[in-house]
Amino acid sequence: MMAMLDYIPLRGQLKLNEPMQQHTSWRVGGTADRFYQPADIDDLANFLRQLEPNEPLHWLGLGSNLLVRDGGLRGTAIALFGVLDAMQPLPDDMVEVEAGVSCAKLARFCAKHGLVGAEFFAGIPGTVGGALAMNAGAYGGETWSKVISVETIDRYGQRHRRTPADFVIGYRSVISDREEWFVSSCFALTAGDSDASSRKIRKLLRQRAESQPLSLPSCGSVFRNPVGDHAARLIEASGLKGYRVGGACVSAQHANFIVNDAKARASDIEQLIVDISDRVFADHGVRLQPEVRVVGEAVKENGRGR
């Protein structure tokens, strides 16, 4: 709900009861009470200042690491993809990138400007904001290994400059004691051969296309790799390739992918995540931890979320 004090007209798009299946890579999910796409970072700050202090907020990039339950989201979803999308090279082989830029676009931008070390971002199916939030990685690279500083915004619209020392950073984990969200980052790279970097990106994308089920809706890797092993190996060793719940199925191409190949519901995917975790634990004594965030409300027997 919007607060009425000090109202300044918004320039972004506000939608009510927006179907989240249109904004998640699994193509599932109920509706968000409110869905806002800001015009730019100043408009985002203005929007946040006008919200009630207890308004639930859900931040969205490409929706590639997100499972929205069938009962939908209470509160407001804020979509940054395609909006906070500025990038600029800086002195000393650095680049500043806003949170709504796709990771693949960042990789290509760096290669174009002769900055190497960001090629692995081409394998991350999300935005820079999402990559920062979970320390996403691919092909041996991790997001926060390149971060010099980040800019965050709090729910009152105040912006802050933070460094890696302000966070507890681990494997697919970034923890902060502040209620703030990423809006941009400064990455430190290395000057190098632009053509060689572009060739490396093309090679990584070919590898990704050959090993992952990119033609079907998925969220990318579902589970974190346990120490010293790979989630995909454990899932495959448990005979779960092709295992199905409703319209959701463990990919026959890559066992750590769940694909929506038959009009799945979010509840199908969530149950499949539980089944995989339970089976692998029973077979191997390893409890797989999901990378994907599960949010929203389940649909109860009367068809309504709670």
Looking at 69, 172, 208, 265, which residue is catalytic? Answer: 172
CATH, domain range 222-290: 3.90.78.10
Q: Are strands 31-37 and 13-19 parallel, antiparallel or unpaired?
A: antiparallel
**Residue 249 CB contacts under 8 Å (≥ 6 apart), including other chains:** 242, 243, 258, 259, 261, 262, 272
pTM of the model: 0.92
Active site residue 172: yes
Residue 154 φ/ψ, nearest 5 degrees? -100, 180
For residues 195-207, average pLDDT:
96
pLDDT band at 8 (very low <50, low <70, confident <90, very high): confident
Looking at 18, 151, 180, 291, which residue is catalytic? Answer: 291
Active site residue 265: no
pLDDT tens digit string along 206-233? 999 999 999 999 999 999 999 999 999 9
Active site residue 291: yes
pLDDT tens digit string along 19-59? 999 999 999 999 999 999 999 999 999 999 999 999 999 99
CATH match for 13-79 among 3.20.20.70, 3.30.43.10, 3.40.1710.10, 3.40.50.1950: 3.30.43.10
What DSSP string runs through 177-232?
Answer: SS-EEEEEEEEE-EE--HHHHHHHHHHHHHHHHHHS-TTS---S--BPPPTTS-HH
CATH, domain range 87-210: 3.30.465.10
- C-alpha to C-alpha distance for 7 and 265, rounded to whole angstroms: 39
- C-alpha to C-alpha distance for 231 and 235, rounded to whole angstroms: 6
Looking at residue 29, what DSSP letter applies? -
Looking at 221, 238, 251, 277, which residue is catalytic? Answer: 221
Give the start-to-end residue ranges of the domains of the chain: 13-79, 87-210, 222-290
Looking at residue 290, what DSSP letter applies? B
For residues 168-180, average pLDDT:
96
- For residue 260, give the H/E element and its range: strand 258-260
pLDDT tens digit string along 244-303? 999 999 999 999 999 999 999 999 999 999 999 999 999 999 999 999 999 999 987 654
